[in-house]
Amino acid sequence: MPEQATTTSEAFQRLRETAAVLASPDSDLTPEDRTKLRARLDTSAWEVFGEVAGSCVLDDLQDDLPLTEKDRNALDYGLFGLGLGPWEDEMAQAAQAARAEPVPGVSFVTDALRAEYRRFLRIDEGRSLYEKQKGIQERLELAGVRTESLKKTRDRILGWVLSSDAKRKLDRTLAETEEMRERFLLLQRKVDHGQLKDTVERREFAEAKEKMIRLREERDRILADASGAPKALSLDRRVDKVFFERLDLQDELAATGARIDVFHTEAREMNPRQARAALVEELRSLRMFTKMGAQRARSQPETAPIGKREIATPRKIAEALDHILAFDPRLFDNSLARREGRPTILLVPGTGYGIFDWAKRRLVVPTIPYRSVPETLAYAIATYRDDVDAQTNERTLLKSYGALKVNENSRSSMKLKGLLAKDYITWMTRDSKGLATLDPENREWIEENIAPRPEEPILTREMIDLAPRERRGLLKRLEGQAGGLDAEDLYRLGVLRFWGEEFVQAAECFDKALEAKPCWPEAIYSSGVSHKRAGRSLWKERLSEFVRIAPQSWWPKKAQRMLAK
């Protein structure tokens, strides 16, 4: 049995007692009783979450939360070790296995709490400031090295082009110039920025300027007939330029040092109570989204499981997301995703639908899926799509959906959003798999606004994820390997050629890929649509073959429709 969460609080006692009553097969509970007890269970579980998270904040405020395995079981999957049965062991093992197989972009509550803890302590900000300070110091050192190098090169050139007598005169002039240079340039910079303090500094600047002019005139007279003079003078001007760069770096270093001092002052004022409050606030926010997801699914919250349940894992989430992107390939092709990045996915104890947290740009997905992981995630993505539509398209997508005849009686924005989310789920879990379930008008709308474009190649997840700059880089790499490409690279090149409207070359790439892998359905389909766009009759043969060998999904149905036209 998993270890019991370390708390003896009243909330934990209520949690254990309530779970025992709900889990008992002998309980003679009415539906009303169960509803009330589940609400009590949910409240107690979230109270215990706060206690468990708070107990991980040590008085000396270490850089990270020292979470144990039992803490993670409780916070990540709501497994508190309540003594309800052997299934708790099985679920704890499944939870441990899920954490042992991380997936980029998918995280748990303990990850979110760690991030919030670090944000509160400003650990990353502090490290960033110290790294910045170190970088400025290194650049200052390099600027000093560059200055000395420029001076040595200048002096070496002058040694080649001047007589010994002229060189002695110039050395005296340059020595005086070096004595004046830094003070004069510092005053010059103050003049440029309007920072001269008083008449004393103004008089000092005027005297320094007059002396520098005289020294430079003397230098120019000595160099008047020297063949290498322009090069030497150019190097001398670069010394001045590097000096100004050093002044800017010194200012930046001073400002960074001041920020570090402020950071340390504020850090000394932080205390464990404030850190615990920050974690509880993060949990409060997560609870709000899980309650919302349960309400949307019309399900009772089950934050702490009272029986063996299927759990959502990062791997299952990744597989579901792969399928969703395959049938909604333009999901992240929007200005919001380009500006702020794709949303992350956070697994949170509970049941119901996933919900998009717009403030933190994440999909909050319950660990006990409603019906299935794909359905739970699809709803979360539908809420993300709605947010993107509202922020970037002035609800163009929702208005278009609301204009369908089948939706003409649904004038409420909330109702329309619910219907669209329901259709999105149906599209992802049934129609994309070849099961015609959607109303024909709604399916046509989905195919126009969400589905892959049927007269284009079938995209792999890798190709869907490529940004325009990455596409150019991949094309350059593949073109540089002409003649040595494997089937997968030929497929990639075929897609890139198609995107570049080089349909004949795209078809040739897919055909070559098929020579290496003759029964590759995606390559057969992509070859067919490329030949079709190139105006070649071979497309019908390719699509007919695809219909014959492809597994059931939306794609063979689209191929059949193209062949029937």
Residue 106's pLDDT is 96
Range 398-402, long-range pairs (CB < 8 A, 24+ positions): 400/445, 400/449, 401/445, 401/449
- pLDDT digit string (tens) for 76-96? 999 999 888 899 999 999 999
Share of the chain above pLDDT 90, in %: 56
Beta-strand ranges (E) seen in 177-335 are: none
Question: Which part of the chain has CATH 1.25.40.10?
Answer: 461-564
**Nearest-angstrom CA–CA distance, 476 and 451:** 29
Return the CATH number of the domain spanning residue range 461-564: 1.25.40.10
Do the Cβ atoms of 232 and 223 come closer than 8 Å?
yes
Residues 6+ apart with CB under 8 A from 311: 77, 91, 94, 95, 98, 367, 368
Give me the helix-helix angle, 31-55 and 272-296, nearest 10°: 150
Question: Which part of the chain has CATH 1.10.10?
Answer: 314-449
pTM exceeds cut of 0.85: no
Residue 7's pLDDT is 55
C-alpha 425: how far from its chain's center? 25
| CB atoms closer than 10 angstroms to residue 65 | 20
Residue 1's pLDDT is 43
- pLDDT digit string (tens) for 535-560? 999 999 999 999 999 999 999 999 99
Residue range 198-208: mean pLDDT, rounded: 82
Return the CATH number of the domain spanning residue range 314-449: 1.10.10
Structure tokens at 94: 């499944």
Confidence label for 525 from pLDDT (cuts 50, 70 and 90)? very high
Between 235 and 490, the more confident residue is 490
C-alpha 518: how far from its chain's center? 38
Between 145 and 7, the more confident residue is 145
C-alpha 396: how far from its chain's center? 26
- The backbone torsions φ and ψ at residue 269, rounded to the nearest 5 degrees and listed phi first, read -85, -10
Share of the chain above pLDDT 70, in %: 98
Between 192 and 445, the more confident residue is 445
Do the Cβ atoms of 41 and 15 come closer than 8 Å?
yes
- For the cut 80, the answer to whether the pLDDT of residue 141 exceeds it is yes
Residue range 98-126: mean pLDDT, rounded: 91
> Among 142-146, 207-211, 545-549, which range has the highest average pLDDT?
545-549
**Nearest-angstrom CA–CA distance, 74 and 51:** 11
Segment among 18-22, 104-108, 132-136, 482-486 with least mean pLDDT: 482-486
174, 175, 181, 183: CA torsion to nearest 10: -160
Segment among 191-195, 212-216, 384-388 with least mean pLDDT: 191-195
- Average pLDDT score, the chain: 89
Residue range 41-65: mean pLDDT, rounded: 90
Strand order in the sheet with 106-108: 106-108, 344-352, 362-369, 355-357
Residue 3's pLDDT is 52
Between 395 and 219, the more confident residue is 395
The helices-and-strands tally (H runs, E runs) of the chain is 23, 4
- For the cut 60, the answer to whether the pLDDT of residue 6 exceeds it is no
Confidence label for 482 from pLDDT (cuts 50, 70 and 90)? low
Residue range 19-46: mean pLDDT, rounded: 88
Residue range 357-379: mean pLDDT, rounded: 94
Residue range 464-483: mean pLDDT, rounded: 87
Residue range 397-426: mean pLDDT, rounded: 88
- For the cut 90, the answer to whether the pLDDT of residue 203 exceeds it is no
Do the Cβ atoms of 553 and 537 come closer than 8 Å?
no
